[in-house]
Amino acid sequence: MTLDLFETDDASSTGREALAPGAVVLRGFARASAVLLLAEIERIAARAPFRHMLTPGGQQMSAAMTNCGPLGWVSDRRGYRYEPADPQNGHPWPSMPESFRRLAHDAAAAAGFPGFAPDACLINRYEPGTRMSLHQDRDEPDLTAPIVSVSLGLPATFLFGGLNRGDASDRIALVHGDVVVWGGPSRLRFHGILPVQEGTHSLLGRQRINLTFRKAT
């Protein structure tokens, strides 16, 4: 059997797709690391369990979340912010694995953002029916740093809007192993995730996990 440059043995794609200035999808960039990433996620979740945080308005968030790294993103009645410790137990968030740092750094570099050094990794868990409504990521002081997001498990439809909430959104299908880098003029675009469809992934079962790497200082 022969494989040329544009074929793979598992029928899934690789390569780079520009979405907009500063926004790049790296298809399959994390696929080879997925098993290692999952083992690390299990280690992290054993110490900082996934939980449904409260919005400032008092609603439970649809996605379950945890964090690793020096800073973790948290939401509660007091608002959104980064904290060095898990509010549920007062302990520092689990350390960011070297494999996470390297993946985020290398993906950012491949998208034209060399030297990315994230100090926060938010881990979102979606079960079928879970969604994330349209929002901006604007809790970070340094908007020159990009955000790197890694999709694992069940597929999702990503909404990629403009700089105003009312702007039209594009829909982008994201599958296991896809990595997206959002920076420059796309850093403050509105975005969200449509409800995840029912399904079973061979490695993750009935879930999608997204790693969101940010520089939060």
Q: Residues 26, 178: contact at Cβ < 8 Å?
A: yes
SS percent in the chain: helix, strand, coil, step 5: 15, 35, 50
Whether the Cβ atoms of residue 186 and residue 151 lie closer than 8 Å to each other: no
> Residue from 82, 113, 116, 182 that binds ligand MD3 (CB under 6 A)?
182
Under rule CB under 6 A, residue 124 binds ligand MD3:
yes
Q: Toward Fe ion, which CB reaches closer, 50 or 80?
A: 80
CB of 11 to ligand MD3, least distance (A): 23
Residue 154 contacts ligand MD3 per CB under 6 A: no
Determine the residue with CB nearest Fe ion: 137
Minimum distance, C-beta of residue 91 to Fe ion, in the bound complex (Å): 25
The CA distances from residue 62 to 112, 131, 148, 195, in Å, are: 33, 6, 21, 10
| Interacting residues toward Fe ion by CB under 5 A | 137
Of 101 and 214, the one with the shorter C-beta distance to ligand MD3 is: 214
Residue with tokens 């040329």: 4
Does 130 participate in binding ligand MD3 (rule CB under 6 A)? no
By CB under 6 A, is residue 82 in contact with ligand MD3? no
**Residues touching ligand MD3, count (CB under 6 A):** 15
Out of 111, 118, 212, 213, the only residue in the binding site for ligand MD3 (CB under 6 A) is 212
Which residue's CB is nearer to ligand MD3, number 7 or number 49? 49
Instruction: Specify the residue, 137 or 178, whose C-beta has the smaller distance to Fe ion.
Output: 137
DSSP class of residue 31? G
CB-based contacts of 38-47 (< 8 A; 24+ apart in sequence): 38/152, 38/203, 38/204, 38/209, 40/97, 40/99, 40/100, 41/123, 41/209, 43/94, 43/97, 44/68, 44/94, 44/123, 45/123, 47/91, 47/94
- Give residues in contact with ligand MD3 (CB under 6 A): 122, 124, 132, 137, 147, 149, 180, 182, 186-187, 189, 191, 193, 210, 212
